[in-house]
Amino acid sequence: MSVASIHKPVQQELEQVEQAISEVTRSEIPEVQRMLEMVLSASGKRLRPTIALLAGRFGEHRPHHLVPLAASIELLHTATLVHDDVIDDSDTRRGQPTVNSRYHNASSVMLGDYMFAHAADLICRTESIDVVKLFTRTLLAMAGGELTQDMTAYEYGQDTMQYFHRIAGKTASLFATSAEGGAKVAGASEEWTKALHDYGENLGMTFQIVDDILDFEGDETELGKPTGSDLMSGTLTLPSLLLMERHPDDNPVKKLFADKQNGKELLAQAILMIQDTSILEESHAVARDFRDRAIAALEQLPDTANRASLAEIADHVIQRRS
């Protein structure tokens, strides 16, 4: 399924979201405006805003509240990417130079904070205290996931349950908020709101696991980053954890974390071991299981075109290559 077809059911509102995001780039400080344009012009697939807009149709459709919700979610997501790039010292994202590669880290961190502030302003325009509370809890969950990832970098003794907990906060929480937030804006029933939350959470888990698989099997040109970059930065993901489980005493990951001077050679060995076994297929199976859970959650909702679109997004996420 193409990105254009995913956007089609909510295209008009998505254009309003883009307008709301573009208004954030306006600044009296020319350099700040250039930085914002640099970050916000490199738009992704807008999956999270699209999910919020679709979820907001399970109840009373309120586009004047849904649009700021969807824009806030995208700004929050983009702000976290700016901070991630600083932490990871990344030069490129989606094949484009990062802000921190053009400006110093302090400015990049403050730019992310500036975008967080705008996201908070937009979320208040939903005029829903429940949505504001949800936004706050989500920010805490995302920050906790990021802190856990940073504080456990190069720690060898991690397992898959710790990994699932980390990505639930770091990634899945915002997908869950996209769907649940849309439901709350629409005044959906508790049953529908929970179903949409569960859909978003499981979809977010799917998204991150696929992302981590692509770090080992994806095309560098499509991904816009080097293969194995997560492992090189000390982040253990599902494929590398499965490799460690299979070869607990003798694997390149353990050696890589202990000997960063020969990192490139050891990283290449780890990538080859993962690619030459069934590890990636096992990881895909885990991602498909979360995808199936996401689609199953939708069965609590009315069988409408909007529900079908949410299911199609789940299929798109499992099949994506970038």
Sorted by where each begins, the domain ranges of the chain are: 3-319
In the predicted structure, residue 15 carries a pLDDT above the cut 80: yes
Q: Enter the tokens of residue 168.
A: 């639930």
> pLDDT per residue over 196-252, tens digit each?
999 999 999 999 999 999 999 977 766 667 789 899 889 999 999 999 999 888 889
Give the gyration radius of the chain's Cα atoms. 20
Of 26, 117, 17, 19, the residue nearest 65 (C-alpha): 17
Based on the number of CB atoms within 10 Å of its own CB, is 203 exposed (0-12), middle (13-18) or buried (19 or more)? buried
In the predicted structure, residue 258 carries a pLDDT above the cut 80: yes
> pLDDT per residue over 136-188, tens digit each?
999 999 999 999 998 998 888 889 999 999 999 999 999 999 999 999 999 99
User: CA-CA distance, 10 to 124, in Å (whole number)?
Assistant: 22
When pLDDT is averaged across residues 261-272 and rounded to a whole number, the result is 89
CATH number of the 3-319 domain:
1.10.600.10
**Average model confidence (pLDDT) across the chain:** 92
> pLDDT per residue over 211-223, tens digit each?
999 999 977 766 6
Which 3 state secondary structure label does DSSP give 299? helix
pLDDT at 156: 84
User: CA-CA distance, 196 to 202, in Å (whole number)?
Assistant: 10
Q: Residue 42 — very low, low, confident or very high, per pLDDT cuts 50/70/90?
A: low
> pLDDT per residue over 77-118, tens digit each?
999 999 988 887 788 777 677 888 888 889 999 999 999 999
